[in-house]
Amino acid sequence: MTEKSAEALNSDDWPIDPPLVELSIQTHDRGFYDGFSREVSIPAKIIVSMIIMWAIFFPVAAMDTLEVANSTIISSFSGWYVYLVAALVVVCLVLAILPQSGRLRIGAPDEKPEFSRFSWISMLFGAGIGIGMLTYSTGEPLSHFANNPDIIRGAVEARTAEAISSAYIWTFLHWGFGAWCTYALVGLAIGYVSHRRGLPLTIRSSLAPLFGKSMSGVFGHAVDVVAVVATILGVAVTMGLGVEQFIVGLYRVGMGDWLVQADGTASTAAIVVALIVLVGASTISALSGVGRGIKWLSNINMVLSFALLALFLVVGSGLYGLELLGMGIWGYIVTLPAHSLTLFSGGTEMGDALVQWQLDWSVFYWAWWIAFAPFVGMFIARISRGRTIREYVIGVALVPALMCFVWMALVGGTAIDLELSGVAQGAIFDANISDQLFATLAVMLGSDLALIVSGLVVILLMTYLITSADSAILIVNTINGAGEDEGGRRYHILFWGFALAFVVGSMLILGGIDAIRITMIIGALPFSIVVVAMAVSIIKAVVYDLIRNHHGVPCTAEACETWDGKVTPAE
């Protein structure tokens, strides 16, 4: 039912209005921006271009500014990030657990999912945090094994068997429900109104239940611009981690000493070459669309990931890793409420150390997930049509989190076991975080077999990098195109591919991954406000639809089209 026909009906006949099923977003109808919203595309391109030029032409001033921001702005908003992520976990779990909301479908009541469960979960995992997981599967458990809040407080001694439990509790906290419920909330807010009410598949549509038609104007444009910038910065962190590890992997398999510097980090030449190859491949993949390139690359990612996990299970410390998995999950669940709401305060030497640890780890992660959420949320919304809210939340929040836990336990557990037993003799501990996975393989397998497996890891990294960049480019164009992901996008795909490469490259060369991390945390702040509004909006949308169902008022676009204005209250 269109708005005009709705006005022809007597609204006194029903106790609650049908939902908004039309949201007009003006797009250009000719020229370079044909099919795009210039009010979103142009400001987003200008902002990202200014960030690139700032880093390239004023590197000293840029680094000074980032250092000031790191010590002032970021610490001031640490509590905001901590409490926001905790609230998002609660909202997602409540929507899934309640019987009434859990069975609502993201789409028409009888709609079937577009993708099989295997392909769906593969795409969730591959386009979510696959790259970061490869870097941190050894790096984070080892780091927390050497330093975490319990060690800082003196409760346990660093690098001892007693420190393992707390190391995994904090690791799972960062890669568990906090990450995936952030993605799930954003994806649900977008997908619910887009697939159920026929609104455009874009960030601003998620706020339509809250702000109505005003999202067609300047406010809606601003929301989408913030989402585009946050997406580029969030993906830049992931790409930065992946590119460094990819280069170190190429060095490990004998591709030349020019790839790394004396301190073990990637050289400038290697960063430039790697970005040309990886972003070039992802741009080509993006031109093929979500149904082809991303789907097949995601399936390849999943197969290679399972093969690598099987290797660690059989050849590595498999039984020990499974023991750590059970111990870590139990500890994570028991401490989840307390740790999710913990905000350390300074003033003493111990307090300052705890605050710095939280800024370096938890706050970084929460900002990363929030900045990554428009990209992953849009992508999840695109591929999740036809699933119930309960199935959606379980699939998005639970399954990938468990996969991350298994990965961290088997891979990180093997690294810890090799160090505790004395076999590694510090070879893994002393390696750069980007090299610790390869160092683990070298100790575990020996030089010849490690060379082969390291080559497979490099391929896995490459497919993860291409998938993430590919997905990000398509999602950015979808936001700029008012929710449309088809049609002539070639030149805009090329622009965002180059932009992503320049953001990653300039920041890596400027100050390494720390420069990207600080820029991303600041860039995530504006979108974090949008996320709060999205949480309120999806709650309102679900509650109102339940009321509409009770009173017999239609709540989907298809039902509104054929509705005659009569209500048939539910029993």
List pLDDT tens digits, range 91-128: 999 999 999 999 999 988 888 888 888 778 777 765 55
Provide the pLDDT confidence category of residue 341 given band limits of 50, 70 and 90. Answer: very high
Q: Does 288 have pLDDT greater than 80?
A: no
| Neighbouring residues of 404: CB distance < 8 A, sequence distance ≥ 6 | 129, 133, 175, 176
Selection from 32-41, 133-142, 334-343, 471-480 with the highest mean pLDDT: 334-343
Closest CA to 125 of 376, 372, 438: 376
Element (DSSP H or E) covering residue 456: helix 447-480
Computed on alpha carbons and rounded to an integer, the radius of gyration of the chain in Å comes to 24
Three-state helix/strand/coil letters over 30-91: CHHHECCCHHHHHHHHHHHHHHHHHHHHCHHHHHHHHHHHHHCHHHHCHHHHHHHHHHHHHH
Provide the pLDDT confidence category of residue 481 given band limits of 50, 70 and 90. Answer: confident
CB 546: neighbour CB atoms within 10 A?
15
CB 142: neighbour CB atoms within 10 A?
23
* Model pLDDT, residue 464: 81
Q: Are 25 and 37 in contact (CB under 8 A)?
A: yes
Q: Are 293 and 286 in contact (CB under 8 A)?
A: yes
Q: Does 297 have pLDDT greater than 90?
A: no
- For 36-65, write each residue's pLDDT tens digit: 889 999 999 999 999 888 888 888 788 788
* Model pLDDT, residue 564: 65
Question: Which pTM does this prediction carry?
Answer: 0.89
Query: What mean pLDDT comes out for the span 249-278?
Result: 89
Distance, in Å, from the CA atom of 564 to the CA atom of 1, rounded to the nearest integer, reads 9
Q: Which two tokens stand for residue 412?
A: 């990180």
Q: Does 272 have pLDDT greater than 50?
A: yes
Distance, in Å, from the CA atom of 483 to the CA atom of 199, rounded to the nearest integer, reads 8
Distance, in Å, from the CA atom of 229 to the CA atom of 18, rounded to the nearest integer, reads 34
Q: Does 488 have pLDDT greater than 80?
A: no
- For 314-337, write each residue's pLDDT tens digit: 999 999 999 999 999 999 999 999
Cα 106 to Cα 22, 111, 294, 296, 545, distances in angstroms = 17, 9, 22, 24, 12
Q: Does 571 have pLDDT greater than 50?
A: no
* Model pLDDT, residue 549: 86
* Model pLDDT, residue 160: 93
* Model pLDDT, residue 219: 93
Distance, in Å, from the CA atom of 90 to the CA atom of 108, rounded to the nearest integer, reads 26
Provide the pLDDT confidence category of residue 295 given band limits of 50, 70 and 90. Answer: low
Better-predicted residue by pLDDT, 337 or 30:
337
* Model pLDDT, residue 8: 42
* Model pLDDT, residue 13: 60
Distance, in Å, from the CA atom of 93 to the CA atom of 185, rounded to the nearest integer, reads 10
CB 485: neighbour CB atoms within 10 A?
16
Q: Does 5 have pLDDT greater than 60?
A: no
Q: Does 158 have pLDDT greater than 80?
A: yes
* Model pLDDT, residue 414: 96
Average of per-residue pLDDT values in the chain: 86
- For 373-416, write each residue's pLDDT tens digit: 988 888 889 889 999 999 999 999 888 888 889 999 999 999 99
* Model pLDDT, residue 289: 55
Q: Does 140 have pLDDT greater than 70?
A: yes
- For 197-250, write each residue's pLDDT tens digit: 989 989 999 999 999 999 999 999 999 999 999 989 888 888 888 899 999 999
